[in-house]
């Protein structure tokens, strides 16, 4: 199973188990062995567990990142205002659908490669796929041409860093996902393979985030920036709160509608504020405009309709018809969830609401589950809002009544009504 001179895989595991480091060449070999199935899953899983427990140095993380990035197709963009963004995942997180066209309307070029949602957070590809006719499977040539001609494209990253999919599936099955260096290598490898010279990371923390603790999210943001720089890319992170859902819509078609409304300047405020912050950093990294100049450009392109027109142009370039916004699928039935008592909403748990939407069919538990693009949750009242007993807080939009009981339970469990709420946080920091 190994060549004459090659260290047996078992010895790599033993070294990591005992707290040692693998060389860059050894990490490349680990990835190559995973890709060619020369190493059985149990050995790869043992190595990942040893890495999880014993840690991975910055040099090892850089080597693993590069090896994962090199395991598939790698794009490259020439010098110019190219910039990509990445979210660690949230609930109602439409920032990509807002910030990407908004930044492109200001002159940035945005090649955005995204994933499908898995687990409780949604994926941009699933959201875009809710638009009738839209394709997210763009061949590399078409993707690059669209970025040049339209200014932005959002496509599925399926051919990028395929080794990461192998690693991620094993990490998921062996409770080793939450290792910071493994997360950094996983996220960064896909971004590097996407080829942009600059990235804005939207790193979330809070109940609905992949990493709930603020300090750990902050450390992840710093490591993502350092890792990007180690690979010659520019990067900034916006640290944002995901305690309650972002905006008022959870569910794929509902979120597309919400993104379009935000790009027409209709709000909601939290979606616009966070998208503005991310787009501002994108413009600065792309060299289009910084600070106040960038903010003025973003404001004028929102108010004059250019930001919405850019979304419209992008989705039509990817197959949507002229009336796509009116053709978004809608669920057949609604049910309201009301306040159990009068008071102030003190908590609206984003993760529980994601489970409610998933119970209705908005997200997949397993990779090959089929999602219903029309279903989801509308949030009428957010943290800090005063409510009367019996007042509507949420609406569940559903097609299959058999799914309603579980969704109703999750939704009710998300709401806490008390006497006074602490102010809701949103943008916690911008880390450069």
**Nearer residue to ligand URA within complex by CB, 183 or 315:** 183
- Could you confirm whether 112 is annotated as catalytic? no
CA 117 – CA 115 distance, rounded (Å): 6
Q: How far is the CB of 186 from ligand URA (least distance, A)?
A: 3
Active site residue 15: no
397 is catalytic: no
- Helix, strand, coil proportions of the chain in percent (round to 5)? 45, 15, 40
State yes or no: is 145 an active-site residue: no
Least Cβ distance, residue 73 to ligand URA (angstroms): 17
Specify the residue, 87 or 378, whose C-beta has the smaller distance to ligand URA.
87
Active site residue 186: yes
Report, in Å, the least distance between residue 119 CB and ligand URA.
9
Looking at 16, 165, 190, 381, which residue is catalytic?
190
Is residue 220 a contact residue for ligand URA (CB under 6 A)?
no
Among 69, 99, 152, 187, interactor with ligand URA by CB under 6 A: 187
Task: Report yes or no: 346 and 416 within 8 Å, Cβ to Cβ.
Answer: yes
Binding segment for ligand URA (CB under 6 A), chosen from 76-84, 91-99, 179-187, 414-422, is 179-187
Residue span binding ligand URA (CB under 6 A) among the ranges 71-79, 181-189, 273-281, 301-309:
181-189
Burial bucket for residue 412 (CB in 10 Å: 0-12, 13-18, 19+) = middle
177 in contact with ligand URA (CB under 6 A):
yes
Nearest approach in angstroms of CB 370 to ligand URA is 22
Q: How far is the CB of 131 from ligand URA (least distance, A)?
A: 24
Q: Does 183 bind ligand URA (CB under 6 A)?
A: yes
Q: Which of 186, 189, 240, 249 is catalytic?
A: 186
Q: Using CA atoms, how far apart are residues 407 and 375, in angstroms rounded to an integer?
A: 11
Q: Considering only CA atoms, give the Rg of the chain.
A: 22
CB under 8 A, 24+ apart: contacts of 386-390: 386/343, 386/344, 387/339, 387/342, 387/343, 387/344, 387/345, 387/417, 388/339, 388/342, 389/339, 389/340, 389/341, 389/342, 390/338, 390/339
Residue 167: Cβ-neighbour burial (10 angstroms; 0-12, 13-18, 19+):
buried
198 sits near ligand URA (criterion: CB under 6 A): no
Shortest-Cβ-distance residue relative to ligand URA: 186
Active site residues: 86, 164, 171, 186, 190
Residues at the contact surface with ligand URA, assessed by CB under 6 A: 168, 177, 183, 186-187, 210
């Amino acid at each position: 199973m190994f060549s004459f001179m090659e260290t047996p895989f078992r010895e790599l595991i033993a070294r990591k188990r005992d707290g040692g480091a693998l060389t860059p060449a050894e990490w490349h070999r680990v990835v190559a062995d995973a890709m060619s199935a020369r190493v059985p899953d149990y050995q790869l899983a043992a190595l990942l567990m040893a890495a999880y427990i014993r840690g991975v140095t910055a040099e090892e993380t850089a080597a693993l990142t590069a090896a994962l990035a090199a395991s598939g197709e790698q794009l490259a963009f020439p010098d110019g205002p190219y910039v990509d963004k990445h979210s660690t995942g949230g609930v109602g997180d439409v920032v990509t659908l807002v910030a990407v066209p908004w930044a492109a309307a200001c002159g940035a070029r945005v090649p955005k490669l995204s994933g499908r949602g898995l687990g409780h957070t949604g994926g941009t590809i699933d959201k875009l796929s809710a638009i009738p006719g839209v394709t997210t499977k763009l061949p590399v040539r078409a993707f690059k041409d669209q970025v040049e001609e339209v200014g932005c494209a959002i496509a599925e990253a399926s051919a990028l860093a395929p080794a990461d999919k192998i690693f991620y599936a094993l990490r998921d099955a062996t409770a080793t996902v939450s290792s910071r260096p493994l997360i950094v290598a996983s996220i960064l490898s896909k971004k590097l393979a996407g080829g942009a010279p600059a990235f804005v990371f939207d790193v979330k923390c809070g109940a609905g985030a992949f990493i709930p603790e603020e300090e750990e999210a902050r450390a992840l943001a710093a490591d993502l920036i350092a890792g990007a720089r180690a690979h010659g890319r520019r990067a900034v992170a916006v640290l944002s709160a995901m305690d309650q859902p972002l905006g008022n819509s959870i569910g794929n078609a509902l979120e597309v509608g919400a993104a379009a409304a935000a790009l027409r300047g209709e709000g909601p405020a939290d979606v616009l504020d966070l998208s503005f912050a991310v787009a501002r950093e994108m413009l600065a990294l792309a060299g289009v405009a910084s600070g106040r100049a960038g903010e003025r450009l973003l404001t004028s392109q929102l108010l004059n309709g250019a930001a919405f027109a850019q979304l419209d142009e992008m989705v039509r370039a990817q197959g949507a018809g002229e009336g796509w916004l009116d053709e978004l699928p809608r669920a057949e039935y609604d049910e309201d969830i009301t306040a159990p008592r009068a008071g102030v909403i003190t908590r609206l748990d984003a993760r529980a609401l994601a489970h409610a939407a998933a119970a209705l069919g908005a997200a997949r538990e397993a990779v090959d589950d089929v999602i219903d693009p029309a279903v989801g949750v509308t949030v009428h009242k957010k943290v800090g809002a005063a409510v009367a007993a019996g007042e509507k807080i949420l609406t569940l939009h559903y097609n299959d009544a058999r799914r309603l009981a579980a969704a109703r339970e999750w939704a009710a469990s998300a709401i806490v009504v008390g006497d006074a709420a602490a102010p809701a946080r949103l943008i916690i920091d911008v880390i450069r």
